[in-house]
Chains A and B, each alone.
Chain A
Amino acid sequence: MNVLTEAESAALLLSLKVSLWGVGVSLPLGILVAALLARCEFWGKTLVNGLLHLPLVLPPVVTGYFLLILLGRHGPIGAWLHDAFGITLAFRWTGAAVASAVMGFPLLVRAVRLSVEAVDPRLEQAARTLGAGMVWTFLTVTLPLSIPGILAGFFLSFGRSLGEFGATITFVSNIPHETQTLPLAIYTFTQVPGGDAAALRLAMISVALSLVALLASDLLARRATRAITGL
């Protein structure tokens, strides 16, 4: 990567690391939540659904601020994580991953939920009559048939993570090599004299990455659909 300076490539690699971890870790939880919303009726479902979509409509700075209050060193969850597991999120790249996961979560859940809802419940009934419990039915019928939506959700929230700015800078600040992801680096370069070229280079990389993520999502989802039905 001799086109990029050391600081630029550090931001790029950090962005990829933060996004992959954020989305990767939130994926199982996202699938679980999507399945519950798609297939179960429970008290407070509307509220859960609303809370889930909040990061989509709130100013990202507000989301970041709440993360800081809750997960900061002195926040109720942050202090517990630190004392019980020695995990610190504030001002660390792990915190950036949490921020990007939270911001991408609504998109992830939405895509998976749509896909789960599209699975014919009569197939699940058939599995039940063949001796499969609810969990096994979900794992062997619903989940495999939802793979296109899961892939779409993964890439969508991955793309969203790459672009995450407001929540990240509020929660974990803008520390080079630790929390300075691509958008933060771009912002920083625009604030210093002579940083225009670097900002432009990183901006182009951002565009390319986002495009690749979207194209990969589309391609893989179509491939998966074909692989699933064998047609």
Chain B
Amino acid sequence: MTLEIDVRHNQGAFTLAADFAASGPVTALWGPSGAGKTTIANIVAGLIRPDRGRVALDGEVLVDRARGVFVAPNRRRIGYVFQDGRLFPHLTVRQNLLYGRTLTPRAQRFVVLDDVVGLLDLGPHLGRRPGLLSGGEKQRAAIGRALLSSPRLLLMDEPLASLDAGRREDILPYVERLRDEVGVPIVYISHVWEEVERLASTVVRLDRGIVIGVDRISRAHCAARG
């Protein structure tokens, strides 16, 4: 997986000027709040149209303002796990999980419901509505839902931020399993260095809308930690 980003975008007083390339398995966008991490994720997902610039995934141009290219979000096959979950409140967990899967062409489906349910321990909750789930369960369901759309890339925007400290420890192993067992490249957004260090192979450091560095996290370091 190679994600190339070179965009400029103004949002009120905030200006994003990001230029970097990311490759799998896990690239972290790391920086304080207001650094432009979520804006980048929204641009990659197609929820924001950047003022200028270009985004390409594995050579396929998703956005090129100069040439007038803009691929609609529903045609990008990019999964997105939002900070606030965003499960559909009127659907059961099972219906939420299958929402994206039914919209994915059969030939492109490589993720199976039972695998995701097992991986994320969602079995007991399948028949329930999101309103009855705990924060951690909601976030696991949101991860599963994004995964079941068989994405080429999974964006995870601070998936642990809405959880309290104990719950974060509960979710992190699931993200690790996702990385190690499913093989979908992940762009992981966080302002917490411990998460980044534990999950990512590459870190894109951001501050006030600008990329201030791209570093590889050494495997040895990861291994020592793990």
What residues of chain A have their CB less than 8 Å away from a CB belonging to chain B? 120, 122-123, 125-133, 136, 140-141, 144-145, 228-231
Q: How far apart are the CA atoms of A230 and B133 in the complex, in Å?
A: 12
Tell me the smallest distance from the CB of B187 to a CB of chain A, in Å: 13
A residues less than 8 Å from B99 (CB atoms): 127, 130, 132, 140
A sample of 13 inter-chain contacts (CB < 8 A) reads A122-B82, A123-B88, A125-B47, A125-B86, A127-B88, A129-B47, A129-B74, A130-B149, A141-B88, A228-B89, A228-B90, A229-B131, A230-B128
A residues less than 8 Å from B129 (CB atoms): 229-231
CB pair B90–A126 under 8 Å, yes or no, is: no
B145 at the interface (CB under 8 A from A): yes
CB pair B74–A131 under 8 Å, yes or no, is: yes
- Residue of B whose beta carbon sits closest to that of A128: B73
A residues less than 8 Å from B104 (CB atoms): 131
CB pair A128–B46 under 8 Å, yes or no, is: yes
B residues less than 8 Å from A230 (CB atoms): 89-90, 92, 128-129, 131-132
Q: How far apart are the CA atoms of A125 and B80 in the complex, in Å?
A: 10
CB pair B145–A130 under 8 Å, yes or no, is: yes
Tell me the smallest distance from the CB of B103 to a CB of chain A, in Å: 4
B36 at the interface (CB under 8 A from A): no
Q: How far apart are the CA atoms of A132 and B132 in the complex, in Å?
A: 25
B residues less than 8 Å from A140 (CB atoms): 99
- Interface 0/1 of B42-85, CB less than 8 Å to A: 00011100000000000000000000000011111111101010
Q: How far apart are the CA atoms of A219 and B73 in the complex, in Å?
A: 38
B residues less than 8 Å from A122 (CB atoms): 82, 84, 86
B24 at the interface (CB under 8 A from A): no
Q: How far apart are the CA atoms of A132 and B74 in the complex, in Å?
A: 5
Contacts A126-B86, A230-B92 given; 15 further ones with Cβ under 8 A? A127-B88, A127-B99, A129-B45, A129-B73, A129-B80, A129-B146, A130-B79, A130-B103, A133-B72, A133-B74, A141-B88, A145-B90, A228-B89, A229-B90, A230-B131
- Residue of B whose beta carbon sits closest to that of A120: B86
CB pair A231–B132 under 8 Å, yes or no, is: yes
B residues less than 8 Å from A141 (CB atoms): 88
B residues less than 8 Å from A229 (CB atoms): 89-90, 129, 131
CB pair A131–B131 under 8 Å, yes or no, is: no
| Residue with the highest number of chain A CB atoms closer than 10 Å, among B45, B86, B145 | B86
Please provide the 8 A-B residue pairs with the shortest distance between their CB atoms, ordered closest to farther. A230-B129, A130-B100, A131-B103, A129-B80, A126-B86, A128-B73, A228-B90, A231-B131
Q: How far apart are the CA atoms of A123 and B87 in the complex, in Å?
A: 7
Q: How far apart are the CA atoms of A132 and B88 in the complex, in Å?
A: 13
B residues less than 8 Å from A126 (CB atoms): 80, 82, 86, 88
Q: How far apart are the CA atoms of A34 and B104 in the complex, in Å?
A: 30
Tell me the smallest distance from the CB of A45 to a CB of chain B, in Å: 21
- Interface 0/1 of B116-145, CB less than 8 Å to A: 000000000000110110000000000001
A residues less than 8 Å from B80 (CB atoms): 126, 129
A residues less than 8 Å from B74 (CB atoms): 128-133
A residues less than 8 Å from B86 (CB atoms): 120, 122-123, 125-126
- Residue of A whose beta carbon sits closest to that of B155: A129
A residues less than 8 Å from B79 (CB atoms): 129-130
- Residue of B whose beta carbon sits closest to that of A144: B90
Tell me the smallest distance from the CB of A137 to a CB of chain B, in Å: 8
